[in-house]
């Protein structure tokens, strides 16, 4: 379903979000369906979810000491059409020495995480600075969702 390794990161995230939403939509059921895809990009390279510990090590090593971008695409399918949005956040990693890298990998937290880390958990130790929407790095940019679906505020009482 995901196309993680080619093209502009923003367009990849947006397309993946649309694919996820379309896959979850039930034919003939008039309901809102949200798809979201979050990826990490550094110098034009897209880092999705590592397939194994070796790939996680390579990803975290590449991000070490660098500023990377976390890009999330949102796709909201509604009975009357679709709405999409993008969120971008700059994340600065600290220099990862061997001990910190080994500790992070041993946590297992890299599994199922774009870029091989979870900022809301042990991955916070890898991060020096966040510029932009923190919730985007966690995985669901609420501000961007409310931009495309402000009605959500009134549906929650």
Using pLDDT thresholds of 50, 70 and 90, give the confidence band for residue 151: confident
* Both structure tokens of 55: 């790939």
Q: What is the pTM of this model?
A: 0.90
Which candidate in 5, 37, 97, 102 is catalytic? 37
pLDDT per position as a tens digit, 23-34: 999 888 889 999
Left, alpha or beta for 48 (phi > 0: left; psi -120 to 50: alpha)? Answer: beta
For the chain, domains (ranges, CATH) are: 9-155 (3.90.950.10)
Confidence class for position 153, pLDDT limits 50, 70, 90? confident
Contact 94, 83 (CB under 8 A): no
Beta bridge mates, 38: 72
| Residue pair 34/75 in contact by the 8 Å Cβ criterion | yes
43 is a catalytic site residue: no
């Amino acid at each position: 379903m995901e196309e993680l390794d080619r093209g502009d990161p923003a367009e990849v995230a947006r397309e993946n979000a649309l694919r996820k939403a379309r896959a979850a939509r039930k034919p003939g059921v008039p309901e809102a369906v949200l798809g979201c895809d979050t990826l990490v990009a550094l110098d034009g390279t897209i880092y999705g979810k590592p397939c194994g510990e070796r790939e996680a090590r390579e990803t975290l090593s590449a991000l070490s000491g660098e500023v990377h971008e976390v890009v999330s695409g949102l796709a909201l399918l509604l009975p009357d059409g679709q709405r999409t949005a993008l969120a971008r956040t700059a994340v600065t990693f600290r220099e990862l020495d061997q001990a910190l890298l080994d500790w992070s990998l041993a946590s297992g937290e890299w599994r199922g995480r774009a870029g091989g880390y979870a900022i809301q958990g042990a991955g916070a130790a890898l991060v020096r600075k966040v510029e932009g929407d923190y919730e985007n790095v966690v995985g669901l940019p609420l501000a961007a969702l409310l931009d495309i679906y402000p009605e959500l505020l009134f549906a929650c009482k």
